[in-house]
Structure formats: C-alpha cells, structure tokens
Structure 1
Amino acid sequence: MTKQIFKAVCLAAIAVFGASLVIIMGALYGYFSEMQMKQIRIQSELAARGVENNGLAYLDSLKDEEYRVTWIAADGTVKYDSRTNGRTMENHLEREEIREALSGGIGESARYSSTLMEQQLYCARKLADGTVLRLSGTQYTWWTLALGMQQPILLIASFAIGFSLFLAFRFSRKIVEPLNRLDLDSPRPEDIYEELSPLVSRIGSQKRQLKTQAEEKAKAEQMRREFTANVSHELKTPLQSISGCAELLLGGMVKPEDVPRFSRQIFSESQRMIVLIEDIIKLSHLDEGASDMQWENADLYELAERTAATLMPAAEKAGVLLLLTGKKSVLYGIPQLLSGIIFNLCDNAIKYNHPGGNAVIHISDDEDTVYLSVSDNGIGIPHEQQSRIFERFYRVDKSHSKEVGGTGLGLSIVKHSAKLHHAEIRLQSTLGKGTKITISFPKRHIVQLLADK
C-alpha cells in the first residue's frame, strides 16, 4: 500500500507539473508567435515605404535579410521573390493575406509554405500603385521553442521531480504507518483512523463472503482482461492508420493531389473508432441494466419499418433485397433497444450476404409472445462457430472483417438487449445457405410476472 500511495502522490505531482509546463509553453508559444507577427508587420511597413520610394532597387537590397520578400501584381502574378524565381511561382490572388491586403490594405496569415516546405507567418501590404508587397518568416514551432528553453526546463523538472519524490515518500509513510500497526483481531483505537472505523467493524462479516467474491472477481477480471485486450486490438489498427497518414502529411511527404485520399483515410478510420466507442458505451450501459431508459408499449412492426428504411441504401449498395413481412405486434419494452436489435440483425444479414441475395424481416405474435425473425441466404455460419457469435468482438469471417466494417459487438448488443427484455434467441444457420435468427419477446403481462419473480 505504501508503494501505491507513493506512486499516486508522485504521479499526481508529476501530472500537475506536466500540465503546468504545457500551459506555460502554450502561453509562451502564443506570445512568441504574436511577437514574430508584430516584427514582420513592422518590417513589412518599412519595406513597403522603401519599394514605393525606390522600386525594384530597394528589393534587391533586401535579398540578404532574414525575411522572404514577395512583390505581387494586382492580378496575383508574382513580380519578384527574394528566395526563388517569381516567374515560376503560381498565381497568389487566392492567398488569404493577399485577398485581405487588396480589400483592406493589409493582410496576415500563418500557414504551411509548399515552396519553402515549412510553417510561415505572412504579412502583406497594398502599395499605392495597387500592387502588394508581402513579407514572410519562419514561424516558431513547439520543438524549436522547447530546444531554446531546454536548460531551464530540465533544471525546473529535476527540482520538481526530486521534491515530488521527497513529499511522496514522507506522506506515504505517515499515512500507512498506523495501518501497519493495526491488529484486525483486537484493534486499538489509536491505530484506527476515524474514517476507517466502520470498515474495520465490517471486516468480520466480510471474511465469510471472501471465497465467493474471490471467484466472482477472478471471473470478472478474466472477462475484463479479455475485453480490454480486444478493445486495445480493435483501437490499435485505426490509430496506427491515422498516425501513419498524419505523420506523412505533417512530414510534407504527401503530394498535394494525394492529400484528399489521406484525409479520407483519416476520416474513415476515425469514424470507425467512433462507432466502436459508441458500441462499447452501449454494452456498458446494458451491463448496468439500462435503468434510465423508458419502458413503454411499442409496435415492433413499426420499429422494423423505420429500421428497414434506414438500411435500404446500404442494402441497395450491396445488391441485397431487404424485405419486411408480418403484421402489427405490440410488446412492452424499450424502443431504442428494440430498434438496435433489428438494426444489428439486418446489418449483418446485408453485410454477410451475396449480391442478388435477400434479407427478410418477419414480425408476428400470439397470445403471449411477439416474434422477430431476420433471415438471409448469405454465407451462413459454420456449426462449430455458432455458439460463439454472440461473444464480444467475435467475427465469423475474420478475413473480411475490415472490408464489411462493423465492430464485432453488434450481436453482443443484441444478446444483452434481448436478455433485458426477457427474450429468447434461436439461431438456425447452414454454411453457404444462409442464417435465420429468431427472438421471442414475452408480452407485457408475462414481463410483469417475470419482473415480480
């Protein structure tokens, strides 16, 4: 326990220091960027006066200055550039700072320069003859700012970490010392914190429950580890893809014409992560009983109609005919979860199907039960895997899991939602011929009887 308290205090102190350092560096970065822009603004005003008085001769005298100077005609044509051949440069009329200068006399911007391949600050001024003179300079980055301040940062960090270790050691020993002296069989009042007295008094009764709790905890821990490992694996792939694309973009290694493709890849992978996180949240909510959700009478056929309409574009794109049959059937449940059940079953029926296949939703009922079935003539499920398809992150067709999308949590959400409604699930599937999943929902009077039990 001493080590845990020691680590907690250390981590808290280091976290506070790190957050403070980030805030300070952010403030300094903003300050230095503003100072840079102010300096460029002043230099651009001086340069504008020089050009208006002496013309091109004055520009030639600025070639050795630290700032890049560009002279642009009113139509956006580059007349002169101190760092490169202006005649070969593209038209600048659509550049942000040029537009602002032409319309308001002065324009400023900060962006990546494809010519110099670095982040630049720009300040442009409109001259009396209608042309625009622009000055630009390299913008400070976090990295250059940090390198410039590495000595004081290292000194402060060393002191802060050392002081944190000292405080953590003192506090952890002081907190744990009375606990180490505590005799649970005959505790002395001076060895018990007032806040811990109720806990100590309950330890005797808790000992009798330890065996059962230990078994349950071990099982829960195993499930948690498996779930955490699966979540980590599922998140790692899109994160690696996003990181790789972003690294190429930040490094300037992507051709301009390829930027949209990399951007789409980043967007696609981020959307995949969002869907995964949403499904994890749904499962967590269901594990907790979804007690905040409203139960009411719901027409399962009407919910199926809405869901089918939502999935129709995806079905058409996949070349799958999506049909709804049956009749109005009212049951007592949570509409959001019922819609989610229908959606996940239909989504699988579409994804794991063949072009020209079909997916059929059928709703029916009798005196005590409402039946929902979703059937397809798709790829089917091997018999040896049918008992596992409702497990979290389990996929039958792993080789095409990325191609068809999804998170591997859909059927697990179906299982938990059905369990919450006291429903039974029946699976019928033949490899290569298709799958049919039927869920039997008890009607309101049966649900109330089950709840009373």
Structure 2
Amino acid sequence: MLSLFVAFVATNILYQGRIQAEVRDILFRNGEKVIEIYQSTGSDDLISFMKAFNGTAGTHIQLYNMEGMPLLEERIDIENRYVKTVITGGTTYDIYYGVNPHLPFVGMPLEVDGESYALFLTVEGNKVEEEIMNSVSFMYVIILFFGSLLIIIAARYVVSPLVRLTNATKKMAQGNFKIELPTKRKDEIGVLSASFNEMARELDKLDQMRKEFVANVSHEIQSPLTSITGFSKALKQKKMSEESRIRYLTIIEQESERLSRLGRNLLHLSHLQHDQYQLNLSTFRLDEQLRNVVIGLEPQWSSKKIDFDIQLDQITVEADEDQLKQVWTNIINNSIKFTPLQGSIIVEGTKKNNLITISITDNGVGIPKDEQKDIFKPFHKVDKSRESSIMGNGLGLSIVKQIIDLHHGNIEVSDGPEGGAKFIVSLPQQYKK
C-alpha cells in the first residue's frame, strides 16, 4: 500500500511537472511573438495593441509600467517581486494563485521608447483540461484502492500457508511429528509444504526408531540383569548341590558375557556413526581374508557339520581391513546360527569393472520377505520371541550396514536358492574419497 501511494504521488508530480513545463515554453514563445509583432508593426499605442492580442489562443496578457501599476483591465494580480524582477530585465515563471488558481504565468521584459515594461502572460482556465486532470486523479485513486485490495488478498494468499507452516513448526518443536500440511498448490509455497511434510514423516520415523531403540536396549539389558539377580539370590541358599551351584554360576557368566557383548556392540555402532570417524585404509587380499574368517569360525560350523563351498577369485581391495573382517564375521556367523545340522554355506567372490561382489548363501530358515528390508535396523530380530537359545542382540547386521556404507558400498539380502538367505555385498575395489 505504501508503494502504491508513493507511486500515485510521484506519478502525479511528474505528470503535472511535464504539463507545466510544456505550458511555460508555450507562454514564452507567445510572449516573444507578441513583442516581435509589436516591434515590427511600429504601433504607437502599446496598450491598444496589447488589448488586441489579449485572449488570443487562450492566452491572457497583463502589462505593468515601471511603477508596478497594471495597464490593462485583465484581472491578473502579480506580486510586486515578480514585477520588479521583470522591470529590471529578468524573466520569471511561477504558478498564479489569483482568481483562477494553479495557472502558470511567465514574465518578460519589454522596452518601448526608452521605458521599461513588464509583460506577463498566463493561460485561460479550460474546463475540459480541468475535467481531464480530475479524471486522471480519480483514476489514480481507483488504482490505489483496488491495487491495495488486490495486494491484501495476494498477501493473505501467500501469508496464510506460511502461518500454518509456522504453527506446524511450533508443534514439531513440542515433539508432535504427525503433521500434514495441504500441498495442492504448485508454486514455491506448495513445494515448501511438500518438503515440510516429507521432513515431518522422516522425523516421525526417527522418533519411532529412537523409542524402539530405547525400548530394545532396555529389554536387552533388563533380561540378563533379571537372570543374574535371580540366580545370585538362589546362590545365597545354603542347601544347594554342587551341580546346581555350577549351573547357576554358568548362567550368570553367560548373561554377563551377553551384557558385555551388548555394550561393545553399542559402542562400536556409535563409533561408526560418528561424523568424524576415519577408516584405516590399506591394500590387502580380500579372498584370503574371507578364508581366514571361515577358518576362525570352524568350531561353530564344524560342530553342526556344515559344509562350506568357497569360490573366490583372487581379489585385491583398498579398505579398512579390521572393519571388513567384522563384516564377514557377522554375516557368516549369522549364517552358521540359522543353518541346520549338515547344512551348507556358499561363499562366492568376483571382481568386474573395479566392482567387487561377495555373496554368502545358506540353506537355513531364511528371512521372510516383509522383514528383509528391516533386518539392518538396530535390535531387529526375525526371532520375535528373543529366545536366548540363539545368541545375539540384533546389532550385528546394523554394524555390517554401517561399515559397508562407510566404504561407499551396498549390501542386499534375498532368498537363497534352497530357501535360506543370501547376502550380497558390493564394494569398490579402490576406496572413493
């Protein structure tokens, strides 16, 4: 509204300024013609000559003598300061505020027979011109009114979604992430609302993951602590066989180790997720590392009489050797856990176009389709009962995923050809910084 008002005032001033400048030039030219004609005719009666020209072409004339007295009957009262300026040989221009106000006038010196006169010319008030100026002014007022109204409507159209967005951010700051803003608009505001909705959904997912993470940690900690507390109280009983005492102590030891593993895995996962974490890169034989991991896990798979089929090309890779060893240990250890007696596990490795692909396939119980996308989340277990018969806390595959991501690689899981699970890891042969 302020801009429209300034534009109205500025336009009005510029318009009037141009009109007045044009009228001033016309009056000066008319005055010069009057003087030129008078001098060329050689008329002796100056007053009669001026009376004859008065009113010609809408121009009114007034003549002043050296004493500042008007010599014509024309009702044009010019201030004495203007008359004195012209009598002394100068010219003047201003707006006349007499009977017909707001009319411009000019003053020009005239010398006749050694006497100085002041010739003033002004224009005749024109009703048509006044109506035009009034119409233009009225048009400006209409533009100012409707322009302001349209700007207010447009401002509400723009500000209203911003107000909703502001209120939504306040709710989000209070922990409410279930917010959905309307996104029917196709402009920048609509794009912003759509982005906000996407952010709200992602934050809601993160909040749910945080709650689940806290619940899972509490469960994983509470379960062994309950066992340790219960069996510790049982050991206080005096009448207990040596066999029972050894069994209770063994359970306490196992639950303590379980807590220790949980703590180590949580610290490891937190360490990997830190923004400043740096990989300890080196170049080594990946196929040899995989064979060494399988050999290191021999007590687990030999006790279940699992058959290993290893098909590895000679592969050299630039990566963090210790972290990748953790990857293969976690994946193969999981395969051993869920592979039945006398089952089989296939480890394959190939290199093509600077891309390394490692697949580990078992013929165990497999992973349901609807859970394959969630197995890399912290504490996710396909075994919903969380039985302790299968040792684990659901962090192993989360650590695997984090390590693979740090190496700019990818890991996928699918069904094996014999109903088990197949893990496929893709890594660049040379680390991309």
SS at 1:388 equivalent: coil
Q: Would you say the 8 A contact 2:416–2:422 is kept in 1?
A: no
Matched AA of 1:234: E
Structure-1 separation of matches of 2:343 and 2:298? 14
Structure-1 separation of matches of 2:375 and 2:284? 28
**1:408 paired residue among 389, 394, 402:** 394
Matched AA of 1:282: H
**2:267 paired residue among 281, 284, 295:** 281
Deviation at 1:321, TM superposition (A): 1.8
Q: Does 1:395 align with 2:385?
A: no
Deviation at 1:218, TM superposition (A): 6.2
Q: Would you say the 8 A contact 1:298–1:330 is kept in 2?
A: yes
Corresponding residue of 1:231: 217
For residues 419-430 of structure 1, the aligned pairs below 5 Å read: 419-429=405-415
**1:243 paired residue among 226, 229, 232:** 229
Q: Does 1:378 align with 2:328?
A: no
For residues 140-179 of structure 1, the aligned pairs below 5 Å read: none
> TM-score, normalized by length of structure 2?
0.51
Structure-2 separation of matches of 1:268 and 1:366? 44
For residues 345-356 of structure 1, the aligned pairs below 5 Å read: 345-356=331-342
Corresponding residue of 1:46: none
Deviation at 1:327, TM superposition (A): 2.0
Q: Does 1:298 align with 2:284?
A: yes
Deviation at 1:429, TM superposition (A): 0.8
Q: Does 1:361 align with 2:336?
A: no
Structure-2 separation of matches of 1:411 and 1:268? 22
Corresponding residue of 1:336: 322
Unaligned runs of 5+ in 2: 1-195
Matched AA of 1:414: V
Deviation at 1:348, TM superposition (A): 1.1
Distance change (3 Å), C-alpha of 1:378 and 1:301: same
For residues 31-110 of structure 1, the aligned pairs below 5 Å read: none
Corresponding residue of 1:271: 257
Structure-1 separation of matches of 2:377 and 2:334? 15
Structure-2 separation of matches of 1:309 and 1:255? 40
Structure-2 separation of matches of 1:324 and 1:290? 36
Matched AA of 2:382: V
Deviations 1:22-69 (A, max 9, x none): xxxxxxxxxxxxxxxxxxxxxxxxxxxxxxxxxxxxxxxxxxxxxxxx
Corresponding residue of 2:135: none
Matched AA of 1:348: N
SS at 1:325 equivalent: strand
Distance change (3 Å), C-alpha of 1:225 and 1:415: same
Structure-1 separation of matches of 2:255 and 2:417? 31
The structure with the largest alpha-carbon Rg is: 2
Deviation at 1:400, TM superposition (A): 6.7
Deviations 1:396-429 (A, max 9, x none): 1334742121111111111111111111122221
Percent same amino acid at aligned positions? 31
Distance change (3 Å), C-alpha of 1:380 and 1:251: same
Structure-2 separation of matches of 1:244 and 1:414? 34
Corresponding residue of 1:97: none
Corresponding residue of 1:442: 428
**2:306 paired residue among 320, 324, 328:** 320
Unaligned runs of 5+ in 1: 1-210
Corresponding residue of 1:143: none
Deviation at 1:290, TM superposition (A): 6.6
Corresponding residue of 1:138: none
Deviation at 1:291, TM superposition (A): 2.1
Distance change (3 Å), C-alpha of 1:256 and 1:221: same
> TM-score, normalized by length of structure 1?
0.49
Q: Would you say the 8 A contact 1:304–1:324 is kept in 2?
A: no
